[in-house]
A and B are shown apart, each in its own frame.
Chain A
Amino acid sequence: MASQSQWSIVPIGADDDQTPLFFSEHEWNTVEAATARIIPTDRDPGAREARVIRFLDRFLASIQFIYASADGSGFLQMSGKDAEAWEERIAHRQQVYREGIAEMDDLSEDRFGKPFVELTEQEQDDVLEALSGQPRPGRVSLEPQTLGDGGVGGAPPTNQPVSDEGLGFFEMLVLHTRQGFYADPVYGGNADSIGWRVIGYPGPESLADTVAGRYTTVDYMIPEATWPYAQHPAVQRYGVGQRERLR
């Protein structure tokens, strides 16, 4: 049995094929529409443009697209107990999605007499809200004593690993949509680094750059500053507590 250190690299890309590997055409269109409400398109692109649906389809297809190889040239061929655990996990996620998509369509038919994909955006939001079991999240305000109503499917407030284990369909879809929008493009979503560009994250151009040491964020630091920092001219160029002073 091959050790994890010996897993071979299958030279395959998540975008080699433009057709669904797991979803039916209807499921593909339905889930794509839902992701487009979870991360909508506004003045910036959203989940649809980032091809989050492709990310989800590859994730659910098999265990082929779980771990990109370090250099991004392909995906790792798992073996042994790791492979068994992932096969079991993916089979479970497939079932959650199949049943969840059907439930989403049932809700749509009940409320609006049409399948989800044929609803208006407002109607789709209503269905997702019903699916989530609580009001859609409100905006974060910087006014004191207020915070957005977070809604479900978020990461726990810790540095603990964020897992989809035990989540229901809607929470899982929200989490996976976020993964597909922001994960390295090698996984099939975040096309052209759209997700990263929306939020201003200059991620690596390729995984290979991170392996070779070509990727750096030092341009976004203050490399010339020396300790004691607060007294260094490069630091004193920047204010602190400006908001307070402006008031």
Chain B
Amino acid sequence: MQSRKRAPERVDVCIVGAGASGGTAAKVLTEAGLKVVALERGPWLRNEHFSGDELKYLNRNYVWPDPKLKPRTYRPNEETETQVVQFSPTPQGVGGGTIHWGGIVPRMTLDDFRLRSLHGEVPGSSLVDWPIGYWDLEPYYTRVEWELGTSGLAGANPWEAPRTAGYPTPPVKLSHYGRIFAQAMARMGHNTFPIPQAMVTEPYNGRKPFPYTGFWQQYPDPVGAKSSAANTFIPDALATGRLDLRPDSYVTQITVHPDGRAKGVVYRDADGDEFEQEADVVILGAGGIETARLLHLSANAQFPDGLANSSGQVGRNCTFHEYLFAIGLFDKEVVDPLYPWAGHYMNVMSFDFYQTDYDRGHLLGTLIFASMLGHPINWTFPGRPTWGQAAKDTDRDFFNHSMKLGVMVQDLPVESNLVDLDDDVKDAWGLPVARITHTPHENDYAHAKWQVDKNVEILEVAGASKVIPVHMDKITGNCCHEMGTARMGDDAATSVVNKWCQTHDIPNLYVFDGSFFPTSTGVNPTLTIMANAWRCSEYIIDVHAKGRTAEAVRGPRDLTTAQI
């Protein structure tokens, strides 16, 4: 569709997606003097658009993609029929996933970067080491934590890698469900610690502290205490005057010059008018699913299998961190109320089961944390009576006497697990949707089951009268952690981007979102996504902006083995 609107001017950098990675890149690049356009598919909702309204956010998809407009399909393997599902409903809008995130922001551990070296080849898994190490990221972890005003308590998690600075705001306050978890763990001889949160707990950089409304996980925050990209990096970038932020702009294709370099992107604005935005550098920050989809959608005569896909790895090895838990029901005649809606959904964490213990018969482990079971509408557990007197009694007896103990599955990469296009299902704009083909590795089932059972034991020690395990059935994307679809690696034959998140095939095309994760790690990915986006943005500033080569700037030394 041709428009009478003016064609956009060419800029230094075009970012696709104004979320965690795109927001970080926008800040770092504009503050270095580059001219940046950020194209965001969704709207730019401000904090005054948000409220503590369970129905609106959790049941009517005010910030989650409407499955009628933006469906996805899922199948366990290539032999199975696909089903249309609302898989990984990450918000699309300025701020991206950080609009609704719980903001759990632990750093990766030292071992997370080298699982292949530690454990060798794992049958059925495409396990690899990261081409970078903890000390490549540490300075950026610190910067991001301080930009976000992260709350936490340095030193409280004995499994954490060394850090060069503490947290800028004090840890979140203790809830009763956090309290009873901490007490049970102490009785069992285990450590717990306050969860590092992307939340300001005292006034910070003009932002107000969180008033502990309970409306946090899966809710945007009207007060602005949530350290979303929209509350932190994006305002910084806008303040430079060099960020042109265009919401409601749906990128449908990356265009390529005849010489094989990226030319820009094609997008549609809110009216459906189509434009091409040209740029010296294109950065993808659309999330692990939409970025893989866009690379596939951008296939052309020169790149018939999709862009940056000479390795055939685009979309492969996808990982999603399934969230599982044990649910405890407590006897109100015996145990004090847990008020599970108080605070901010999650409270108190442990890494004591995170490291591999071969005696368990499987690799890896998970972080665990206490949480609420849900606000009144969505509060539930398997087997909850749904209607009649039994249903009413159950709500009344257990709403204040229930909690969850969560497990975030550290899923292994499997090459046949794939995000590609479903040519049979189109979105409301007529384009093929993302299709997720995924079967968990047997180790995922094993370590998830072990940990859910361990959580059952912890809840029993905590005094729960009935404990209900929720084991893994299949992947549902319920964490909205989308990783692995454009793996980072040194070898162009087996990975999509290099250690600077530059695609091996197209030197001015970068992937900054969770797609680059070579392995899922057991920690929530966003802090690492932001830290890495900052690191790689500096590389772009050094290399592209100044016309130098990578080696001249950074030297040939291998950063993987940088001093520890």
Q: Which positions in A face B, CB cutoff 8 Å?
A: 1-5, 37-40, 42, 44, 46, 66-68, 70-72, 80-82, 85, 88-89, 125, 128, 132, 136-140, 142, 144, 147-165, 174, 177-179, 181-184, 186-187, 195-196, 198-201, 203-204, 207, 210-218, 220-223, 225, 227-231, 235, 238-244, 246
The residues of B that contact A155 with a CB separation of less than 8 Å are 374, 378, 380, 384
| Chain B positions 354-385 with a Cβ under 8 Å from a chain A Cβ | 374-378, 380-385
Chain A residue at smallest Cβ distance from B58: A161
A152 touches B186 (CB 8 A): no
Query: CB-nearest residue of chain B relative to A55?
Result: B55
Complex: how many Å from CA A85 to CA B392? 33
B213 touches A230 (CB 8 A): no
If A154-B386, A222-B176, A229-B178 touch, whether A215 touches B52 (CB-CB below 8 Å) is: yes
Please indicate the chain B residues that have their CB under 8 angstroms from the CB of A144 in the complex. Answer: 466
The answer on a CB contact under 8 Å between B69 and A238 is no
A-B contact pairs, 9 of them (CB 8 A): A136-B390, A150-B382, A158-B470, A159-B478, A174-B387, A207-B53, A218-B173, A221-B339, A230-B192
Contact (Cβ within 8 A) B173 A179:
no
Extra 10 A-B pairs, beta carbons < 8 Å, given A150-B385, A154-B380, A184-B53: A37-B388, A132-B387, A137-B391, A155-B380, A184-B52, A211-B50, A213-B222, A231-B186, A240-B180, A243-B331
Closest-by-CB residue of A relative to B88 is A160
User: In the complex the two chains form, what is the Cα distance from A158 to B478 in whole Å?
Assistant: 8
CA gap between A212 and B223 in the complex, in Å: 7
Assuming the contacts A3-B248, A138-B390, A235-B174, asked whether A67 and B56 have C-beta atoms less than 8 A apart, the reply is yes
Contacts of A70 in B (CB 8 A): 48-51, 53, 222
Write the nearest CB–CB distance from B196 to chain A, whole angstroms.
Answer: 12
Q: Which residues of A contact B60 (CB under 8 A)?
A: 66-67
B367 CB → nearest A CB, Å: 16
Q: Which of A3, A38, A174, A212 has the most CB of B within 10 A?
A: A3
CB-CB under 8 A for A227 and B400, given A213-B208, A216-B213, A220-B339: no
Complex CA distance for A125 and B388, rounded to whole angstroms: 8
**Chain B binding site: helix, strand, loop or mixed by DSSP?**
loop
**Chain B residues with CB under 8 A of A125:** 388
Residue from the list B69, B385, B395 in contact with A82, Cβ < 8 A: B69
Q: B338's closest neighbor in chain A, by CB? A: A220
For the complex of A and B, list the 7 residue pairs with the smallest distance between their C-beta atoms, beginning with the closest. A137-B385, A210-B52, A230-B186, A182-B376, A220-B342, A240-B183, A217-B342
Q: In the complex, what residues of A have CB within 8 A of residue B56's CB?
A: 67-68
B478 x A160 contact (CB < 8 A): yes
A196→B271 CA distance, assembly (Å): 42
Contact of B329 with A by CB under 8 A: yes
Q: Are the C-beta atoms of B180 and A142 separated by less than 8 Å?
A: no
Kindly identify, within residues 40 to 66 of chain B, every residue whose CB is under 8 Å from any CB belonging to chain A: 42-46, 48-56, 58-62, 64, 66
A214 to B43, CA, bound (A): 27
Q: How far is the CB of B392 from chain A (nearest CB, A)?
A: 6
Which residues of chain A have C-beta atoms less than 8 A from B171's C-beta?
227
Residues of A within 8 A of B166 (CB): none
Q: How far is the CA of A4 from the CA of B270 in the complex (A)?
A: 10
Q: Is there an interface contact between A199 and B248, defined as CB atoms closer than 8 Å?
A: no
Question: Is B218 part of the binding interface, using a Cβ–Cβ cutoff of 8 Å?
Answer: yes
Collect the chain A residues with CB atoms within 8 Å of residue B334's CB: 242-243, 246
Are B212 and A5 within 8 A (Cβ)? no
Q: Which residues of B contact A4 (CB under 8 A)?
A: 42-43, 45, 93
| A199 & B395 in contact (Cβ 8 Å cutoff) | yes
Chief secondary structure at chain A's binding surface: loop
Contact: B387 with A137, CB < 8 Å?
Answer: yes
> Which residues on the B side are within 8 Å of A147 (C-beta)?
382-383, 466, 468
B residues 119-137 near A (Cβ < 8 Å) are none
Interface contact B463-A243, CB-CB below 8 Å: yes
Contacts of A186 in B (CB 8 A): 53
Contact of B336 among A5, A151, A238 (CB under 8 A): A238
- Whether A217 and B339, one on each chain, are in contact in the complex, defined by CB atoms closer than 8 angstroms, is yes
CA–CA, A40 to B348, complex, Å? 37
C-alpha gap A199/B401 in the complex (Å): 11
User: A85-B68, A213-B223, A243-B334 known; A222 and B174 CB under 8 Å?
Assistant: yes
Interface string of B463-478 (1 = CB under 8 A from A): 1011010100000101
A204 to chain B minimum Cβ distance, whole angstroms, is: 6
B86 is contacted by which of A68, A82, A161, A184 (Cβ under 8 Å)?
A161
Most chain A Cβ neighbours within 10 Å, of B53, B192, B335, B382: B53
Q: A204-B52, A238-B180 are contacts. A223–B174 as well, Cβ < 8 Å?
A: yes
Contacting pair B179 A225 (CB below 8 A): yes
B111 close to chain A: CB less than 8 A: no
Is there contact, CB below 8 Å, between A162 and B58? yes
Q: Report chain A residues within 8 Å CB of B386.
A: 137, 150-154, 174, 178
B506 at the interface (CB under 8 A from A): no
**How far, in angstroms, from A200 to B45 measured CA to CA in the complex?**
32
B264 within 8 A of A: no
With an 8 Å Cβ cutoff, the count of chain B residues facing the other chain is: 110
Q: B351 contacts the other chain (Cβ, under 8 Å)? A: no
In the bound complex, residues from chain A placing their C-beta under 8 Å from that of B398 are 140
B113 within 8 A of A: no
A189 to B329, CA, bound (A): 28
- Whether B55 lies near A183 (C-beta < 8 A) is yes
Complex Cα gap A244–B330 (Å): 12
Contact of A158 among B179, B247, B476 (CB under 8 A): B476
Q: Which residues of B, 456-491, contact A by the 8 Å Cβ criterion?
A: 461-463, 465-466, 468, 470, 476, 478
Among B93, B218, B386, B395, the most chain A Cβ lie within 10 Å of the Cβ of B386
Residue from A42, A225, A241 in contact with B463 in the complex, judged by beta carbons closer than 8 Å: A241
Let me know if A229 and B174 touch, CB within 8 A.
yes
Residue B260 lies at the interface, judged by CB distance under 8 Å to chain A: no
User: When the two chains form their complex, are residues B270 and A1 in contact, meaning their CB atoms are under 8 A apart?
Assistant: yes
Asked if B76 is at the interface of the complex by the 8 Å CB criterion, the answer is no
> A224 vs B83: C-alpha distance in the bound complex, in angstroms?
49
Q: Are B69 and A160 in touch, CB under 8 angstroms?
A: no
> What residues of chain B lie closer than 8 Å to A89, measured between beta carbons?
68
Residue of A nearest to B175 (CB): A221
Contact with A along B207-231 (1 / 0, CB 8 A): 0100111110110001100000000
Query: Could you tell me the distance between the alpha carbons of A221 and B210 in the complex, rounded to whole angstroms?
Result: 14
CA distance A199 to B374 in the complex (A): 13
Taken together as a complex, chains A and B put the C-alpha atoms of A174 and B377 apart, in Å, by 11
Whether the Cβ atoms of B68 and A158 lie closer than 8 Å is no
* Pick from A153, A174, A229: contact of B179, CB under 8 Å: A229
The reply to whether B348 and A229 contact each other, CB–CB distance below 8 Å, is: yes
Q: Is there contact, CB below 8 Å, between B53 and A68?
A: yes
Q: Quote the shortest CB–CB distance from A228 to chain B (angstroms).
A: 8
Is B247 a contact partner of A3 (Cβ separation < 8 A)?
Answer: yes
CB–CB B176/A220 < 8 A:
yes
Q: Are A204 and B213 in contact (CB under 8 A)?
A: yes
In the assembled complex, the Cα of A46 lies from the Cα of B54 at a distance in Å of: 20
